[in-house]
Amino acid sequence: MDALNESFQQLHFKKEKSSNFLSQLYDQENEGLVPIFKFEFRRNQLNFTQKLYDFQMLQFLRDPLIDPDLKSYLRNFNIDDKNSIYLGNKFDGKKHGLGLSRINQNHLKFGIFSLDQIKWGWEIILKKNNFISFYKGYFLNEQKDGIGIQRQYNFQGLDPNEIDEYVGKFSKDKRDGEGIYKNFGLKIVKKGEFKDDKLNGLVNIYENYDDIIFIGYFKNDKKHGFGKVINSKDNYEILGDYYEDQQTGEHKKLYQDGRTETITYPSKLCSIF
């Protein structure tokens, strides 16, 4: 997890002089980079739905975007260009540099493009019932790929309420590799390995964000294999095997005072591996 934590810090690099995204863009002038975007951000020029546009503007005020490793893409490769689906810099007729791309009125990508493909930035999608999916991180072939952070919001009122968050590795638009998932309503955290958007491998589960309650193996988002339940309040642990989220075979209940109990569950005939 150390490598993951280090990569996560790169998503939240320190702001040297700027307090928000827009001022950070203009700070690049001191490094020989052009003050980006002569056109006005505060107008909805690509005609997004209002909720999507409002969320985008909130992110501009709250979230720094520029990855230090990608600053060279902020140079003005060509004159600024704007049309009905793209607002930003181009090179040789292709999106190249900083830009805002309209996938449809409920879906945008904003960030650093290279020869028509986004490399790093945001993806914001407005879903049914004013739910919003927000991603910040790396892309490959127009899909989330590499280290990133994805959040789900309920945007009913003036300010979006965060529902859950995933920080970690992506591959082909899916959670894949080391990652950390948080559910803010349940105050549950799951840290471990993901495959095809599901937990697979060794996983730690915490309640109230940092009280560990389970360590064990998962397969297809279910406890599957050896696991340990940890009850810090009553000072005991339960060790045993799981099959598709169900206890199987003998489980040992170990108390801190040395007492031991055996709990027997119906055994599964299939292998847990």
Q: Say what the pLDDT of residue 8 is.
A: 44
Specify the CATH number for the domain of residue 266: 2.20.110.10
Contact between 11 and 136 under an 8 Å Cβ cutoff? The reply is: yes
How much is the pLDDT for 207?
Answer: 95
Give a yes or no: residue 120 inside a domain. yes
Statement to judge: residues 130 and 214 lie in one domain? no
105 and 162 share one domain:
yes
Q: Are residues 49 and 178 in the same domain?
A: yes
What is the mean pLDDT of each successive set of 10 residues along the chain, which is 273 residues long? Answer: 48 42 50 46 80 85 63 58 75 86 92 91 92 94 94 90 95 96 96 96 95 96 96 94 94 93 81 48
Residue that finishes a domain, picked among 141, 159, 185: 185
Same structural domain, 85 and 110? yes
Q: Kindly state whether residues 167 and 211 are assigned to the same domain.
A: no
Pair 126, 219 in one domain: no
102 part of a folded domain: yes
Look at residue 58 and tell me if it is in a domain. yes
pLDDT at 18: 38
- What is the DSSP secondary structure assignment for residue 36, as one 8-state letter? P
146 and 11 in a single domain? The answer is yes
Q: Are 215 and 225 in contact (CB under 8 A)?
A: no
* CA dist., res. 154 & res. 152, Å (int): 7
Say whether both 248 and 173 belong to one domain: no
Q: What is the pLDDT of residue 230?
A: 96
Angle at 204 between CA 201 and CA 209, to 5 degrees: 145
Whether 192 is covered by a domain: the verdict is no
Phi, psi values for residue 36, rounded to 5°: -75, 145
Do both 173 and 240 map to the same domain?
Answer: no
Same domain, 180 and 66: yes
Q: Tokens 């599957």 map to which residue?
A: 224
Is residue 208 included in any domain, yes or no?
A: yes
Closest CA to 181 of 160, 161, 214, 204: 204
Predicted pLDDT at 77? 54
pLDDT for 99 equals: 85
Classify residue 57: in a domain, yes or no.
yes
Q: Which domain holds residue 212?
A: 199-273
Residue 193 lies in a domain: no
Residues 110 and 153 in one domain: yes
Residue 44 Cα to chain centre, angstroms = 26
The tally of domains found in the chain comes to 2
Last residue of a domain, one of 137, 156, 185: 185
Direct distance between the N- and C-terminal alpha carbons of the chain, in angstroms, rounded to an integer: 24
Chosen domain end from 138, 154, 185? 185
Q: Which residues of 62-210 form beta strands (DSSP E)?
A: 81-82, 86-91, 94-104, 107-114, 117-126, 131-140, 143-154, 161-171, 174-183, 188-195, 198-207
Residues 14 and 78 in one domain: yes
190 within some domain:
no
- In the 8-state DSSP scheme, what is residue 270? S
